[in-house]
Each structure stands twice: as structure tokens, then as C-alpha cells.
Amino acid sequence: MYSIKAVARATGLTVETLRAWERRYGVVSPVRDAAGRRVYGPEDVLRLRRLREATERGHPISRLAPLSDERLTTLLAAPVDERGQGIGQAFVERILVAASQFQTAECEQAMTLAVAMLPPQSLVSDVLQPLLLEVGNRWHRGELAISQERLVSKIVSRHVRLMLYSFDRTASREAVVFATLPGERHELGLLMSAMLCASRGFKVHYLGTDLPAEEIARFAKEVGASVVALSVVLRNQVSELPAQVASLAGALPEGTAIWIGGAGASLLADQRLPESCELLSNSAELDQRLELRSH
């Protein structure tokens, strides 16, 4: 039998996520040891590993929880196309080919189909993130011109903004502010995260990039935001971030969470950050946090 901390280490889930999944969805049923502490069997660990993997592929925990262990195993063992990842890769390749030939209309059509066919989380994890990574790699290798890179970026930005505004019209949950601190001007990752948040029904306030901490805090207080979400991409800005984040946390009302994601967020893991800060390593972790706050 395993303690909850041992299960968290073995599954890659946080203790908070484990408790929330148990309380809200009954995903496993731990027993109590002689001291009254929750303990888990090997079968619980295996099930939780499967659930974590499935959520990372874009499946919401609310839909996974009722599935039997056999159904979960079947879902994870399904052919790539059935999971949607093969479809996502096909869209990526189609857009890359069109961009390499300066075919704007073909890029637009492929992106429109991807948006129509895939749920938001799968769209981000299986199409947009791999696409932008590969575009960047090809540009660095000289295989794509800067105009072709801009073509793809502009199309992605436009479609994600349209999705964000569409979801936001019917949002009714707590407010979340999205922004970046001074010196950070990359916004596609921030924009995609904001769209995912809006797709969960949260009221998104998208401020964009390069804002002073005090201005972000002032806006968050005015709209009553429960979370401020930041993106960090430029690694040369990381040394300045702890002080900026501390300033932001000090200006926010007590209880306001700060979520930090992006390619440079992992470099903050060893930094001393305010207790209200939480580092998110990918869009799946963001989706998990949103799922937990939805109930």
C-alpha cells in the first residue's frame, strides 16, 4: 500500500489534484490504515497513471472518470488517428507544405478545418504547438523565410483570437487576467492559453504583452480576477522576473493566484517566488487547473 505522497510521485500528479479527483469524480477509492491515513493499492496507481496520460492527450477528467480500467486501456492503446494525434499531425504537415509554397488560402482552409474538427485542448496540443515549434525550427535552419513564418503566425493568431472572443461571449465563471511582464513580447502561447481558459467558461481579460506589474495588478483588482496568468518565453528576462512577480503579488488582493507558464517558466523552478505563484509546464497542466476550478 502507498501513501498519497508516494502515489503523487509515482503518477506525476500533485497531491491537490489527487484529492480533488477523488472528491469530485471518485476516480479511485483509497482505504485507511491503522493511523487513519489514506493508502492506495498498486491498481490505484496504475489507474491514476492512465488517467493522467489521457488528460495530457486532451481528454477532460470529467469524461474519463466513469470509464473502467479496461476502457481506459483501450483508449490509450487506440490507433493514433483515433486519438486525434494523427489527424493533428496531418494538419501540421498540410499547413507547412502550404506555407512553403506561399499558399495563404490553403493555410487558412487547413486551419479552419482543424478548428472545426478538434476540441480546443487537442487543437492546441496536437496542431498549434507542434506547428509553431516546427515553423520556428525551419526558420532557424533557413528552410522557411521570415515572411512564411509570419504567414503561419498571423493565421494562428487570428483563428485563436476568434475562438477566444466566441467562447468569451458566453463565459460565466470567475475572471482570469492574461498578460506578460515588461520585456516579454511573445504572445502566441499566452493567447492560446487564454483561449483554453475561455473554452472552459472562465471570463478572460486578455491584456497582451509587456505590461508593468502594477498595471496588471490594478486591472486584476478592478475586474475581481481570481487568477493572473503570465507567460515567460524570453530566457534572458528570467533573472528579472522574481522581483517583478513579487511586486505583482504584493499589489494583488490576498488569495489571488498567479500562474506562470511558457518555455521559460521551468527556469524559475529554483527561484524564490511568492506562495501564490504556481508554475505550469504545459497546456495539459493548465487544463487540469481549470478543470479543478470549474467545480
What confidence score (pLDDT) does residue 178 get? 98
Q: What is the DSSP annotation of 127-142?
A: IIHHHHHHHHHHHHTT
Co-location of 65 and 98 in the same domain = no
Verify that 282 and 185 share a domain, yes or no. Answer: yes
Number of domains in the chain: 3
- 116 and 141 in a single domain? The answer is yes
Give the H/E segment covering residue 228: strand 227-231
266 and 184 co-located in one domain: yes
Cα-based distances in Å from 234 to 53, 65, 262:
29, 38, 9
Burial 189-207 (b: 16+ CB within 10 A, else e): bbbbbbbbbbbbbbbbbbb
Judge if 148 and 91 occupy the same domain: yes
Domain of residue 99, CATH code: 1.10.1240.10
Looking at 111, 139, 165, the residue that finishes a domain is: 165
160 and 207 share a domain?
Answer: no
Question: pTM here?
Answer: 0.72
Please tell me whether residues 191 and 272 are part of one structural domain. yes
Q: Which pLDDT score is estimated for 146?
A: 95
- Supply the pLDDT for residue 79: 54
**Can you give the length of the chain in residues?**
295
Quote the distance between the C-alpha of residue 207 and its chain's center.
18
Say if residues 64 and 56 touch (Cβ distance below 8 Å): no
Distance CA 144, CA 120 (A): 27
Residue that finishes a domain, picked among 44, 78, 112: 78
Q: Is there a contact between 44 and 7 (Cβ–Cβ < 8 Å)? A: yes
Low-confidence residues of the chain: pLDDT under 70: 58, 78-86, 235-237, 295
pLDDT for the residue numbered 34: 85
Q: Do 109 and 74 lie in a common domain?
A: no
Sheet holding 202-208, edge to edge: 202-208, 173-179, 227-231, 257-261, 277-279
pLDDT tens digits, residue range 175-212?
999 999 998 888 999 999 999 999 999 999 999 999 99
Instruction: State the pLDDT at residue 107.
Output: 94
Residue 133: give the domain boundaries: 82-165
Q: Looking at residue 148, what is its pLDDT?
A: 95
Q: Which of 165, 188, 206 is the last residue of a domain?
A: 165
What digits encode the pLDDT tens for the residues 18-42?
888 988 889 998 888 888 888 998 8
pLDDT value at position 84? 47
Distance CA 125, CA 123 (A): 6
Within this chain, do residues 240 and 175 fall inside the same structural domain, yes or no? Answer: yes
Specify whether 202 is located in the same domain as 273: yes
Q: Both 259 and 158 in a single domain?
A: no
CA 235 from centre of chain: 19
On whether both 240 and 179 belong to a single domain, the answer is: yes
**Which pLDDT does position 82 carry in this prediction?**
45
